[in-house]
Amino acid sequence: MTATTDGSAGPVRAGAAAASRTTDTTSAASDILEAAGRAAERSVQHLLGRQDAEGWWKGDLETNVTMDAEDLLLRQFLGIQDATTTEASARFIRGEQREDGTWATFYGGPGELSATIEAYVALRLAGDRPDEAHMARASAWIREQGGIAAGRVFTRIWLALFGWWKWDDLPELPPELIFFPKWMPLNIYDFGCWARQTIVPLTVVSAKRPVRPAPFPLDELHTDARVPNPPKPMAPAASWDGFFQRADKALHVYHRFAPRRLRRVAMNAAARWIIERQENDGCWGGIQPPAVYSVIALHLLGYDLQHPVMRAGLESLDRFAVWRDDGARMIEACQSPVWDTCLATIALADAGLPADHPALVKAADWMLGEQIVRPGDWSVRRPGLTPGGWAFEFHNDNYPDIDDTAEVVLALRRVKHHDPRRVDSAVERGARWTLGMQSRNGAWGAFDADNTSSFPNRLPFCDFGEVIDPPSADVTAHVVEMLAYEGKTHHPRTRRGIEWLLAEQETNGPWFGRWGVNYVYGTGSVVPALIAAGMPAAHPAIRRAVRWLESVQNDDGGWGEDLRSYREDKWIGHGASTASQTGWALLALLAAGERETKPVERAVAWLAETQRADGSWDEPYFTGTGFPWDFSINYHLYRQVFPLTALGRYVHGEPFAGRTDNREGG
């Protein structure tokens, strides 16, 4: 058809073009949906194949070489090193070294001084010579950065154990701290649970100041071998830092004159505290660092290596080892079976696996058996609260955490269990415990309520990572989401949590991520929670979050955020695309009703295109955190569960949509 002089054919031609575009768009969307379905099915099969016979999942938890170096240093200190373990650990440490001779604390990150010092010393223990090329590069870089003197306190403690650093040049940590009443600033319960479990045994180490004969000197790691321990400048006396520095000097004087009987009683009290908190598997808190320091402290107090407490502790440390196919031995800082299992259950259920599928029922059975029904350290702040939480690890009854509890409840509600009353009872108990763990500001921390004192962070001893456990947006969001699904949307505590989340939103739209990297994680946690709690997708807070996510989407369709975003604003929302972070962003956008938008379609297409043939995704980048920036984690199961959850919701819709059985009330 040709156009007439009055243009009457124009609308016909334009209408045909519009119809063609609509057909093309519909076809493209259909293709993406089909690709998403295939990718989800492959992922489901992959994840089912990784389930343990007992019902749980656990991916490797990768951190950095300080875990491996300190394991070798511990074995040297106790005199229990063996050639096989030493060589396997050294193989792993060598494999993590960068071209410039340094070691980083996360994939693609910059060289880190303390990690490089500890890795270097560990390799020397394994027999690597200082004049070998890889060692010479490392020692030269260490000197350029200020040498051992510029390393963090924990690194210098390890070196002091062998006389490579002076105990007098370390911050003092007196065991009398154990006697501070709970209302007094800097009592042990002012510290986060991970710091508390580390500090109590280190008070014994600090008091004993042991020195084992050094197997070699470390002069090459000092900037000037003649003056290995240069003094650090003091902060102004009127500042808090200056106050604590001067208090530390006073404690050094006290160390020389401390009444022997009082000190002995304090160390014995610390030992009792440590032993009372040893878990059934011999570990402490389910994490490697407190276990290491607890073993050292008890050894210094006269517990021989064959004592049942010591034997169990050492055996527990061996369970943190991952032996790889190349003969290398990697140490996990922690193990995450409860967390991995609840996230895998959610992913499989949202991907369409039947609610009564045997894998889901078996996972629910295992999770139900992991509920903690006895008080732990959290009860110091909440003495009248009935227990009912879940921990992160296989054995950690002293420290259930709020994040795991919220996600376990969400997972259990997705399973059609053969004993629904048992599930209801466990869920109700878990929800009640979680409500009771709310902090005064209306939000939730990870392990304790109101663990917000600023004093612990100011101690000269605490120069590495977070030592307190204040509420965070990601944990609070998971709790709000769980409470909403439990029919407690209008509960006063839920409403206060929602108000806190809205107040915490950044002006440009995202939320800070405490336990995942970073604003992508925080936003991916909060938006689904607010929508689950009844907030309309048109709410300004949701729209700001959506606009921010769309603004930081990578050109390839994925999302990524580098760990440097915790320190440098230019990295916020920016980094190489990863499967886990793309999953987080998708969860937020899908919850906000953006399913049929180009950003969502591009992200889904990226996940489908980057999936491997076996249904998994590759992800070398670290997207988890222990302490923002200071201690980073690559959860090897994140790259599987979060993309699958997002693809499942893209294909099958939002979970619990249209749910009518919510049970309002307390």
Q: What is the pLDDT of residue 36?
A: 97
What's the rounded mean pLDDT across residues 266-291?
94
Compute the CA torsion angle 279, 411, 518, 574 (nearest 10 deg).
140
Q: How confident is the model at residue 564 (pLDDT cuts 50, 70, 90)?
A: very high
Q: How confident is the model at residue 25 (pLDDT cuts 50, 70, 90)?
A: low
H/E element, 580: helix 579-591
Active-site entry in 340, 397, 403, 562: 403
Q: How confident is the model at residue 247 (pLDDT cuts 50, 70, 90)?
A: confident
Q: Both tokens of residue 229?
A: 């321990």
Q: How confident is the model at residue 10 (pLDDT cuts 50, 70, 90)?
A: very low
* Residue of 514, 497, 401 whose CA lies nearest to 440: 497
pLDDT digits (tens, 9 = 90+) for 153-183: 999 999 999 999 999 999 999 999 999 999 9
Selecting from 1.10.10.10, 3.10.450.30, 1.10.1660.10, 1.50.10.20, what CATH number does the domain 32-59+336-454+475-652 have? Answer: 1.50.10.20
Task: Check: CB of residue 621 under 8 Å from CB of residue 639.
Answer: no
Range picked from 93-97, 224-228, 235-239 for highest mean pLDDT: 93-97
Q: How confident is the model at residue 23 (pLDDT cuts 50, 70, 90)?
A: low
* Residue of 396, 464, 475, 457 whose CA lies nearest to 627: 464
Could you give the CA distance from residue 443 to residue 433 in angstroms, rounded to a whole number? 14
- What is the 3-state secondary structure of 158-222? HHHCCCCCCHHHCCCCCHHHHHCCCCCCCCHHHCCHHHHHHHHHHHHHHHHCCCCCCCCCCHHHC
Decide yes or no: CATH 2.30.130.10 for domain 62-216+233-331: no
Is 403 assigned a catalytic role? yes
Residues 6+ apart with CB under 8 A from 254: 172, 174
Same fold, 32-59+336-454+475-652 and 62-216+233-331: yes
Q: What is the pLDDT of residue 659?
A: 55
Task: Check: CB of residue 406 under 8 Å from CB of residue 388.
Answer: no
What amino acid occupies position 414? R
Q: What is the pLDDT of residue 455?
A: 87
Compute the CA torsion angle 449, 455, 458, 464 (nearest 10 deg).
-20
* Residue of 449, 453, 455 whose CA lies nearest to 475: 449
Task: Check: CB of residue 191 under 8 Å from CB of residue 224.
Answer: no
Q: What is the pLDDT of residue 230?
A: 57
pLDDT digits (tens, 9 = 90+) for 251-264: 889 899 999 999 99
The residue whose two tokens read 């209408």 is: 15
Q: Which residue has the higher pLDDT, 269 or 13?
A: 269
Coil, helix or strand at residue 578:
strand
Average pLDDT, the chain: 92
pTM of the model as a whole: 0.92
Q: How confident is the model at residue 241 (pLDDT cuts 50, 70, 90)?
A: confident
Q: For the chain, which residues make up each domain, given as ranges?
A: 32-59+336-454+475-652, 62-216+233-331
pLDDT digits (tens, 9 = 90+) for 307-324: 999 999 999 999 999 999
